[in-house]
Structure 1
Amino acid sequence: MRKAAAIPLSVLGLGVAGVAYASIIERNWFRLRRFDVPVLEPGQRPIRILHLTDLHLTPGRKRLIEWVRSLDALRPDLVVNTGDTIAHPDAVPAYVRAVEPLLSRPGLFVYGSNDLYAPRPKNPARYLWRTSKGDIAQHMPSLPWEELGASMTAAGWLDMNNTVARIKVADLDVHVGGIHDSHINRDRYDAIAGPAPADADLRLGVMHSPEPRNLTRFAMDGYQLLLAGHTHGGQLCIPFYGALVTNCGIDRARVKGLHRHTTAWLHVSAGLGTSPYAPARFACPPEATLLTLIARPPKRRGTTTSRVR
């Protein structure tokens, strides 16, 4: 009888330990990922892009705030924030403190749905059979997204929601195209559609959710590097298997990291936060990414550019 009772108790103990690890340890185990991206012309000096996304910041996340502040030591040439920055009405001052050292550097941003609409309690298990698209029931945004945007534009960062811009980053002339969040149907790719200027040293596309229909349009218009977040890398993953879901149209194999989408490079960040109502990560630590853009290898005579999905 005692042996029979010990088995469910041991399983319960493992479950409690797993939840504690996911919600206390791994959720606060911030990582910096690094990738080299061969998109520049031979002879151009490498530049570094710091990609931040999905902080889902609340005022009390002091460890996260201080870790983001420390990233200024990387001395990025450009900072890109791909949305879902806040998760509380009073989180803008906390965000400003987090990025304060970075605001003196060139930067740009787009919004995610959770910059506009406050998170609500929901069963996270339902993401196993459906995405969260359409879950937002409010008719009007409930978070201070305008204040959030103003805190960045006041420092010179560019609001790239459904617009294009031309900026100088180190020695490079960069054309940027950005869209609002497709997850809440605010993306308007038609507003930026058309071939990106061929004379730009870099053609950069930014968005929150990596929906393949938009990724394909960016690539067809000549954008070379695409940045997105939203997926949380799956958030709760299985070791040696990976993400169970992506919460959007991207396939599981590209739920995070650097990949190809037709002719463009695509970086999807697993992001730094979680919804305050699902404060756990498993086999998917929170992350920011430093992308070093380097020269493409010279084409060998008789070869053609491959198109990798």
Structure 2
Amino acid sequence: MSPSAGKTAAASLGIAAAAGVATFAYGALVERTRYTVRQETLSILEPGARPITILHLADIHLAPWQHDKQDWIRSLKIFEPDLIVNTGDNMGHELALAALEYTLEPFAGTPGVFVHGSNDYSGPSFSNPLRYFLGPSKHKVKNSVLDVAAMESYFEDTLGWLNLNNRARAMSIRGSRIEFFGVNDAHRGWDRLDQLPGAIDEERENVAWADDPGPEVVSVAVTHAPYQRVLDAFVTHGADVIFGGHTHGGQVRLPGLPAPVTNCDIPRDQVSGLSIWEHAQKSAYLNVSAGLGTSIYAPIRLACPPEAVVVTLTARDFSYS
């Protein structure tokens, strides 16, 4: 190689290295905290029903020092949600509970439902990000243990939210009847799909409106990790809309291309956003949030900013025969 060619090659390598450093810096310092709100509208309520505003919070992965994230989530109260759907992975550090309580305090008294992700039970640990290309991540037994019982108590007793971990519940919101069912973290295999039919049947038999022919019931299903087996079961049980998280939308992407990884078995083109999930000639809307956080050991996002989702349920149009 001639001296000039060597200099050209060295210059090219230098430019590539500088571009890589700049990209990493943008993802770590800018896009990771470029919080966004995605808004969707679903016309699934019966004709004449009043709109219902749902705030979907996913994968907060909160650390005590993340004050910007805490304040931004608190500011979402401006949307005046009628319902909070929390799809898990709230705590990203073993000392995050007090910060999480501060973050969610504005939503006390707002009806809500929640399920857990693995990072509600155990804290994050460092892992090689290239492992995600080999399939869904594995749990490490050495992870720090989180106080999930205290978090549950805060959600249920202080905020007044309903626990949907392998359970079914129901409530009336703005005159509409809504039933909910959900599963515990499918990523860890804690989804008890075998228990779901019994839980749903029991709720439907004992709900306050069981013998009252009032408004039709809307079914909302909730999971942390949107594995296909879970989505299929939800559709089978009559879900109208499904909420999920876990994927971080791929977290690091190339603009205009599907997510390179999903950390579960959902198709890459449904890793985030609103889509339709079909199974056995039935279907439901599927809203997968790209989430609000990252592991403290992988603090970067690229072409995939953190998001909260505001979903407005509206009435279907009147139909005439």
TM bin (shorter chain) = over 0.9
Aligned match of 2:103:
98
Measured in 1, the distance between the counterparts of 2:320 and 2:216 equals: 24
Q: How many angstroms does 1:300 deviate by?
A: 7.8
Find the residue that maps to 1:177 and give its secondary structure.
strand
The amino acid that maps onto 2:185 is D
Query: Aligned partners of 2:319, 2:129: CA distance in 1, in Å?
Result: 47
Which SS does the other structure have where 1:266 is aligned?
strand
**Residue number among 118, 125, 129 corresponding to 2:123 in the alignment:** 118
Is 1:151 matched with 2:154?
Answer: yes
Find the counterpart in structure 2 of residue 40 from structure 1.
Answer: 45
Alignment of 1:223-302 (within 5 A): 223-262=239-278, 263-297=283-317
The answer as to whether partners of 2:183 and 2:192 remain within 8 angstroms in 1 is yes
1:270 counterpart SS class: coil
Secondary structure class of the residue paired with 2:312: strand
- Checking the alignment, whether the CA contact within 8 Å between 1:175 and 1:200 is kept in structure 2 is no
The match for 2:193 is 189
Gaps of 5+ in 2: 205-209
Q: How does 1:148-187 map to 2 (within 5 A)?
A: 148-155=151-158, 156-187=160-191
SS in 1 for 2:309: strand
How far apart, in 1, do the equivalents of 2:142 and 2:291 lie?
A: 27
Counterpart Cα distance in 2 of 1:3 and 1:140? 47
3-state DSSP of counterpart to 1:238: coil
Distance 2:259 2:222 in 1: 23
CA–CA distance in structure 2, aligned partners of residues 209 and 233 of structure 1 = 12
Q: Which residue is 2:34 aligned to?
A: 29
- Say which SS state the counterpart of residue 187 (structure 1) adopts: coil
CA deviations over 1:276-303 (Å, ceiling 9, x no partner): 11110000000000000112345686xx
- Structure 1 CA distance for aligned equivalents of residues 234 and 142 of structure 2: 30
CA shift for structure 1 position 139: 8.3
CA–CA separation in structure 2 for the residues paired with 1:137 and 1:280:
21
Instruction: Tell me which residue corresponds to 2:93.
Output: 88
Provide the TM-score with structure 2 as the length reference: 0.89
CA distance in 1, matches of 2:39, 2:180: 22
- Identity percentage over the alignment? 40
Change (3 A) 1:55 1:295: same
CA, structure 1 residues 141+166, in 2 after alignment: closer, same or farther (shift >3 Å)?
A: farther
2:207 corresponds in structure 1 to none
Q: 1:243 is paired with a residue of what secondary structure?
A: coil
Q: Secondary structure at the match of 1:125?
A: helix
Instruction: Summarize deviations over 1:133-192 as a string: whole Å, max 9, x none.
Output: xx2132897111111111111121111111111112222221110110110011112222
Distance verdict in 2 for CA 1:141–1:264, change over 3 Å: farther
Equivalent pairs counted in the alignment come to 299
- What is the CA–CA distance in structure 1 between the aligned matches of 2:142 and 2:183, rounded to whole Å? 21
Contact 1:77 1:106 (C-alpha < 8 Å) held by counterparts: yes
Equivalent residues of 2:135, 2:264 under 8 A apart: no
TM-score, normalised to structure 1, is: 0.92
What displacement does 1:202 show?
A: 1.4
Which structure has the bigger radius of gyration? Answer: 2
Q: Contact 1:117 / 1:136 at 8 angstroms: preserved in 2?
A: no
**Residue from 40, 56, 64 that aligns with 2:61:** 56
Q: 1:180 to 1:21 in 2, by over 3 A?
A: same
Cα-Cα RMSD: 1.8
Q: How far has the Cα of 1:200 moved from its partner?
A: 4.8
Question: Quick one: which of 197, 204, 226 aligns to 1:210?
Answer: 226
- Secondary structure in structure 1 of the residue aligned to 2:249: helix
Question: Which residue of 11, 16, 22 maps to 1:11?
Answer: 16
Instruction: Report SS of the residue matched to 2:314.
Output: strand
Contact 1:206/1:226 (8 A) holds in 2? yes
Residue 242 of structure 1: how far off its partner (Å)? 2.6
